[in-house]
Amino acid sequence: MSRIVYQGVEGVADLSEALAQQDKNFPRVLEPGKSPGTVGRRPSGPKGHVYSHGLVGTTEVVPCYKAPPIEVSLGSSETVPAQDDKLREECGVMAVYGHPEAARQVYLGLYALQHRGQESAGIATANGYNLSNIKGMGLVSEIFTEDVLRKLPGDLSIGHTRYSTTGDSALLNAQPIRVDSTKGLIAIAHNGNLVNLGNLREKLERAGAYFQTTSDSEIIVQLIAHSKATTLVDAIADSLGQVDGAFSIVMMTRDKIFAARDPRGFRPLSMGRIKNADGPDTIVFASETCAFDLLRAEYERDVAPGELIMVSADGVTSRVYAPGVAQTSCIFEHVYFARPDSRIYGRWVQESREQMGRQLARESHVPADIVVPVPDSGVTAALGYAEAAGLPFRFGLIRNHYVGRTFIEPEQRVRDFGVKLKLNPVRNLLEGKRVMLIDDSIIRGTTSRKIVRMVRGAGAKEVHLRISCPPTISPCFYGVDTPSKRDLIAANKSIEEIRQFIEADTLAYLSLDGLLQCCDDGQNPQPVGQTGIQGNNYCTACYTGNYPTQWVDVEEILPARYPKSDEIQLSLLETK
């Protein structure tokens, strides 16, 4: 018999209150074999929604707290997307095996991975007997206070920070997801997007699977649960072989940690080690190596594409569950997503980005006085550009890091107010100058136009825009939130038309060959685990429209001139 496993409370002031409410108001005892609990309403208090859900043998607490909104409006309000006209990051995952404060270590790692998703976060821990899980909406530091971390005992832990890519964005789909199965308790955290789901979900439901979420990540766990393989590790390898798309995952049972990447290695996942003087080493996994630094973990190697690693009391073992598939790692991790202080696919992101800047200067320089990055994403490439062009690098735009999602506009509508709130020009640096602006992408073009206008408005004599990757012409289906083709400016306009739209004096993008060269495409042997793959080969589908998997959403890749059709859904794209 076991206790409450899943609760969310809304309408309370903070998380401590939510946690206090849970024990006081909702003791729920489940009988072994009893089906999940009901979704109910908190008996008292404003807007108190309670979600109760039970599985035998674990304690899972899902606190969701949302302070009642306070709104004082003096003018109109405007909502600013978190990444205005930027592609959105996917998710970050983290795992720790063999540390007395595993949850705290995962917390620190997730803190470093916060740029990969700010919508929700979760940490699950295990101590050999129990598997606890806490997840909530918001930033890692908002959810995991001292009180909350104390509720996560154990020396094994996995964690996740999320920006939703599939499934709705509610707490329900926050991760880790924990499932009680015939193979025992399993918790999973997933970065990426599966693409061949088809009717897999229905098939599993017909076979008796009960899905707790609408997230594609849970399909992997349900496949494991329904696998005919007799051992857990065989069942995991079996299930990973049945799905296609992008997945870097960490999984946990009561006493083991698993880490795996999809056979093409779309998303990064690295392995590190904390050396312990008086006992076995702690093994850690993270989406990016910047998460290792706070833990003082040493980077050991990447989890190779198609590799499944198991960490248990017997040590670290590895197997290749999908040999012989060509690697197509996401090159956009190097262009934009990953932090410059991370090593991705065995290569420093900072080095790639500086090289992109240098190459951009070699390919498309025109006379200018200063190089100015669009902060923060254009900074590293701008450093490389300035060096290659022999020009001074200047922070001519200052970013306000404290802008929230919603703000109050002045009574009198101000042109391009949203961007002005986030960025402000340094007039005395820009006035009378020929400015070389460096950014990492143009998606719809609207933000780029506002920035060009801002720099010109601050007195710049000329504004030249350089982009450190090729034009984005096609959406991503591998875990990156991109607009459909009809909303991507480069899919519908020539470079000259884009230049006119954004009102720049000149515009140039980095060539595809140049980008590949800057990321050492096919040249630099990466740590290979046991797959024997040498060198990095990249997915460049958002720049070429050539997708490495067969399944894509045809509706999303129609150019603007085609009428939107309700009939065209997920279809098979013939790729060469």
Residues assigned a catalytic role = 91
Q: How far is the CB of 480 from ligand SF4 (least distance, A)?
A: 4
Report the alpha-carbon distance of residue 123 to residue 136 in Å, rounded.
9
CA 339 to chain centre: 12
Binding residue for ligand SF4 (CB under 6 A) from 332, 345, 385, 509? 332
Question: Are 398 and 374 a contacting pair, CB within 8 Å?
Answer: no
Binding residue for ligand SF4 (CB under 6 A) from 189, 331, 361, 435? 331
Q: How far is the CB of 65 from ligand SF4 (least distance, A)?
A: 33
Amino acid (one-letter) located at 166:
T
Considering only residues 368 to 387 of the shown chain, the ones binding ligand SF4 according to CB under 6 A are: none
Strands 91-97 and 282-286: antiparallel
| Residue 330 touching ligand SF4 (CB under 6 A) | yes
Q: Which is nearer to ligand SF4, 107 or 163 (CB)?
A: 163
506 bridge partner residues: 464
Q: How far is the CB of 261 from ligand SF4 (least distance, A)?
A: 13
Q: Which is nearer to ligand SF4, 266 or 285 (CB)?
A: 266
Report the alpha-carbon distance of residue 460 to residue 457 in Å, rounded.
7
Q: How far is the CB of 570 from ligand SF4 (least distance, A)?
A: 17
Q: Which is nearer to ligand SF4, 163 or 478 (CB)?
A: 478
The Cβ of residue 78 has, within 10 Å, a number of other Cβ atoms equal to 14
Q: Which is nearer to ligand SF4, 338 or 436 (CB)?
A: 338
The piece of 65-73, 330-338, 397-405, 408-416 that touches ligand SF4 (CB under 6 A) is 330-338
The Cβ of residue 48 has, within 10 Å, a number of other Cβ atoms equal to 16
Write the interaction track for ligand SF4 spanning residues 527-566; mark x where CB under 6 A is met and - where it is not: ------------xxxx------------------------
Report the alpha-carbon distance of residue 18 to residue 210 in Å, rounded.
27
Question: Are 213 and 173 a contacting pair, CB within 8 Å?
Answer: yes
Report the alpha-carbon distance of residue 572 to residue 552 in Å, rounded.
7
At which residue do the structure tokens 């991503």 appear? 476
Q: How far is the CB of 544 from ligand SF4 (least distance, A)?
A: 9
Q: Which is nearer to ligand SF4, 320 or 473 (CB)?
A: 473
Q: Which is nearer to ligand SF4, 374 or 539 (CB)?
A: 539
Residue 282 dihedral angles phi and psi, to the nearest 5°:
-90, 130
Q: Which is nearer to ligand SF4, 121 or 541 (CB)?
A: 541
Q: How far is the CB of 548 from ligand SF4 (least distance, A)?
A: 8
The piece of 329-337, 350-358, 452-460, 485-493 that touches ligand SF4 (CB under 6 A) is 329-337
SS (H, E, C) 473-520: CCCCCCCCECCCHHHCHHHHCCHHHHHHHHCCCEEEECCHHHHHHHCC
Question: Are 462 and 505 a contacting pair, CB within 8 Å?
Answer: yes
Q: How far is the CB of 552 from ligand SF4 (least distance, A)?
A: 10
# chain residues binding ligand SF4, by CB under 6 A: 11
Report the alpha-carbon distance of residue 26 to residue 369 in Å, rounded.
66
Considering only residues 442 to 481 of the shown chain, the ones binding ligand SF4 according to CB under 6 A are: 476, 478, 480
Considering only residues 261 to 300 of the shown chain, the ones binding ligand SF4 according to CB under 6 A are: 266
187 bridge partner residues: 178, 252
474 bridge partner residues: none
Judged by the rule CB under 6 A, the positions of this chain that interact with ligand SF4 are 266, 330-332, 476, 478, 480, 539-542
